[in-house]
Structure 1
Amino acid sequence: MTTKKIVIDPITRIEGHLRVEVEVDEDNVIQDAFVSGQLFRGIEIILKDRDPRDAGLLAGRICGVCTNSHFRAAVTSVEDAYSLTLPKNAEIIRDLMAMALFIQDHVVHFYHLHSLDFVDVVSALNADAKLTSKEAHKYHKQPYRNSHSHYESVLEKLANFVKSGKLGPFANGYWGHSEYKLSSEQNLILLSHYLEALKFQTNISKAVAIFGGKTPHPQSIVVGGVTSVADMLNPQRLNDYIFIIKEAKEFIDRAYLPDMKLLAIAYRDDIKAGLGRANGNFISVGGYAFEDRKLFSDGVIYNHDFQNIEDFDESKITEEIDRAWYKDNPLDNEICYTDLNEDGSLKTAKNDDKYSWIKAPRYDGKVMETGPLARVLISYKKENGLIKPFVDEFLKDSDLELMDLSTAIGRNAARAIESSYICEYIFKLVSNLIQNIKYYDTDTWVKFDFDTLEKNVKGRAFFEVPRGILSHFVNIKEAKIENFSVIAPTTWNATPKNFDGVRGAYEEALVGLKLQDREAPLEVLRVIHSFDPCLACAVHVIDTNGVELSSHRVNTL
């Protein structure tokens, strides 16, 4: 069998620089895939020899999207090293910031980074405003901003983009591709919500900033607690936060979730065919305690066996570099970047060829998938009462089974489900905070004397963040950071093959896809985007000597 290699570089509408190479047969079916993180960063090295109390401020710069997540994980790893126990209010405020970030990230990901893989912008121009309003009522009793005049206004905006000769934010799509399956009216519904989500993004960012001081890169998390005491004690600030979340919940329940039901029904055949399904190994560390329960349950699923879920055990985590561009220990900064083949493709012919800056985390020696889908599946099957009703309702309304969520569209559905029930949880968290204040518990920081703490300690932190498991590890020697390591969600999902040849979740989810057009590989983008890649988080190591390793120029026109 002869195969042809197709290269997509860069994958756009993600955070960072990702290259995908797929090998297709004569029928355009993908036989193998290689996913490569193409650039690296130096935050872990920059953290060396720093004061541990500064870890959050620096680690937060790992990414411009996941700033809050890295900030908190870095600080928590230091607190773990020193065995510091935080006041309840500090944990609640950190959770309120994190939960607002979950909602923001999920909505922005679908509408602005992923929806155009399903929505044909040009087709929407043929929509009838009245029929669009009628269509929207199939997915919710009170659809979001569902009026004839509103849809006519959206059509006018789209028409102006086209008349100008430019599609603005909708440029460079595969419009007219045979894999687009929505009607003109369905396309218009989602494009309307795309524009509304731009406003949503601005407003929900304010919720993070109320307790974080600003966003991105909040300033309020410190070793031992938080500094946003005045915000916590100000009724107006609390009310502002609640109002923003109420508005967000309205958009999620009346636009985001219904749009997922629309997609699930329109692309039912793809879902039932398992398009975008990886190897069925899922992992979650759980977390975000609420009274005697947790928002997310921890667990490990192997090979889609939902009936036998193991408890998570952090001692089973390893990280390999056999096919990543490092020697021995990447934290020692030994690199072995290999040039591309003469035709510009990655060197992947042999099982010891290195082809990515992304390292290869494994759990009990196995490749895992992490993220909203893993959390939803594990929490649901472990009878988590906070999430189960939301999953049941979605599956019933879209006429799907739990296994159907393990697909490209299913990952998106998991994000929408998660966003909806997180909103419910947020209001309960705020209520707990108000109750604490009411009974004169206003502590937000635990006092400690840094000079008297142990000089040589180790700590770690595990969190579920929007894209999956985030873990930070710190080694402190003589009161300075000796070593710092991060395993981010995208590191798990975008892992290269190791010597064992087992594909990572991205790669496995691509194998078996049939491309309708080699020149317009829309199917590949759908699968990759469904994971919400964040390559800035996945790759962090640099050459400390400042040597330029390679230079790339990409023509994006």
Structure 2
Amino acid sequence: ALDFVDMVSALNADPKATSELAQSLSNYPKSSPGYFSDMQKKLKGFVESGQLGIFAKAYWGHPAYKLPAEANLMAVSHYLEALSWQRDVARLHTIFGGKNPHPNFLVGGVACAIDLNSDSAINSKRLSQVQEIITNMRTFVDQVYVPDTLAIAGFYKDWALRGEGTGNFMTYGDFPEKGMDDPSSFLVPAGIILNRDINTIHELDMHAADEIKEYVSHSWYDYSAGKNTGLHPYQGETSLNYTGPQPPYSQLDVGKSYSWLKSPRWKDKPMEVGPLARVLMLY
């Protein structure tokens, strides 16, 4: 939440200018100069007490932080408010699941008895609480979280070029509206993007033996056809063959086998899966 925010810089912000910035982004009611002045005083107390927790030794003042002081104050203020918001959201779990964290749920969901006139079941009062929490959740996301994210992202557009590796992306497809047997109903479609070309989507057949293969050339496994052979998961083998050093040792030789993980490939190409791949496929 604070990866791109210089908390200490927020102490140099002008609360009035911060208020003007916040009001230009959304109509969230907590955007007055007095509000940000109070939050700045609270932050000042944290900084001077040395009780910044895990942020105590962060790189404050580093040139990689690009936000102006007012944006930092706005973000820190909303971060502190989000901690309270998060606590309220957790009440949803306690209403239906009994506790948070570590609620006790079953795979597929949990059934709750509903009786509007009962004191022990989910009654009208608790349902009203649920609706109020959901409404407040949506308000905070729409008026604080999304505007803050867009505002902060505007200062760090160059980060869109960082972290991406192969330029190849793959999604299996997810969130079906009509069941897993109907890929056309997937909210996130299945597909392949090669060489960063988001204008061309290649089809994916997870069952085709020549598409997805797992390799063990750098793994502590053997294949009967040889370590450099790729096998589709349906035909996969897991024959252990540890050839690494005996402990204690300082590091592994990555030019040889060094892992218990297999290396999946699509048509012999390394692929990136996960959130970025899904966003690009949706785009």
What TM-score range do you get, normalising by the shorter chain? Answer: 0.7 to 0.9
Separation (CA, whole Å) in 2 of partners of 1:284 and 1:208:
31
Q: What percentage of residue pairs aligned between the two structures are identical?
A: 39
The yes-or-no answer on 1:277 pairing with 2:160 is: no
Q: String of CA shifts for 1:229-257, please: whole Å, max 9, x gaps.
A: 42699464554444333222222222222
Paired residue type of 1:189: M
Partner of 2:23: 137
Partner of 2:198: 306
Separation (CA, whole Å) in 1 of partners of 2:78 and 2:149:
12
Paired residue for 2:266, among 363, 368, 371?
363
Equivalent residues of 1:296, 1:375 under 8 A apart: yes
Partner of 2:106: 221
Sort the Cα spacing of 1:323 and 1:159 in 2 relative to 1 into closer, same or farther, 3 A. farther
The yes-or-no answer on 1:327 pairing with 2:210 is: no
Equivalent residues of 2:168, 2:270 under 8 A apart: yes
Q: CA deviation at 1:127?
A: 0.9
Equivalent residues of 1:231, 1:238 under 8 A apart: no
When normalised by structure 2's length, the TM-score is 0.73
Separation (CA, whole Å) in 2 of partners of 1:211 and 1:314:
38
Partner of 1:28: none
Paired residue type of 1:288: F
Separation (CA, whole Å) in 2 of partners of 1:232 and 1:169:
45
**Partner secondary structure for residue 190 of structure 2:** strand
**Partner secondary structure for residue 255 of structure 1:** helix
**Which 5+ residue runs of structure 1 have no aligned equivalent?**
1-110, 381-557
The yes-or-no answer on 1:158 pairing with 2:43 is: yes
Q: Which has the larger radius of gyration?
A: 2
**Which 5+ residue runs of structure 2 have no aligned equivalent?**
117-121, 179-183, 224-236
Q: CA deviation at 1:178?
A: 1.5
Residues 95-244 of structure 1: matches in 2 within 5 Å?
Answer: 111=1, 115-116=2-3, 118-138=4-24, 140-143=25-28, 145-208=30-93, 210-212=95-97, 214-222=99-107, 225-230=108-113, 234=122, 236=124, 238-244=127-133
Partner of 1:403: none
**Partner secondary structure for residue 125 of structure 1:** helix
**Partner secondary structure for residue 300 of structure 1:** strand
Q: CA deviation at 1:185?
A: 0.7
Sort the Cα spacing of 1:220 and 1:275 in 2 relative to 1 into closer, same or farther, 3 A. closer
**Partner secondary structure for residue 266 of structure 1:** coil
Equivalent residues of 2:26, 2:144 under 8 A apart: no
Sort the Cα spacing of 1:319 and 1:250 in 2 relative to 1 into closer, same or farther, 3 A. farther
| Structure having the larger proportion of residues in helix | 1
Equivalent residues of 2:222, 2:240 under 8 A apart: no
Separation (CA, whole Å) in 2 of partners of 1:305 and 1:232:
54
Paired residue for 1:264, among 148, 153, 156?
153
Partner of 1:372: 275
Deviation larger for 315-324 or 179-188: 315-324
Aligned-residue RMSD, C-alpha? 3.4
Paired residue type of 1:147: S
Paired residue type of 1:165: G
Q: String of CA shifts for 1:111-154, please: whole Å, max 9, x gaps.
A: 1xxx32x111111111111111112234x231463222221222
Paired residue type of 1:124: A
When normalised by structure 1's length, the TM-score is 0.40
Separation (CA, whole Å) in 1 of partners of 2:206 and 2:30:
46
Paired residue type of 2:197: D
Paired residue type of 2:265: R
Higher-RCO chain (CA-CA 8 Å, sequence separation at least 6): 1
Equivalent residues of 1:135, 1:185 under 8 A apart: yes
Equivalent residues of 2:10, 2:69 under 8 A apart: yes
**Partner secondary structure for residue 173 of structure 2:** strand
Equivalent residues of 1:125, 1:158 under 8 A apart: yes
Query: What is the number of equivalent residue pairs in this alignment?
Result: 256
Q: CA deviation at 1:186?
A: 0.9
Partner of 1:545: none
Partner of 1:411: none
Partner of 2:253: 347
Paired residue for 1:295, among 187, 209, 213?
187
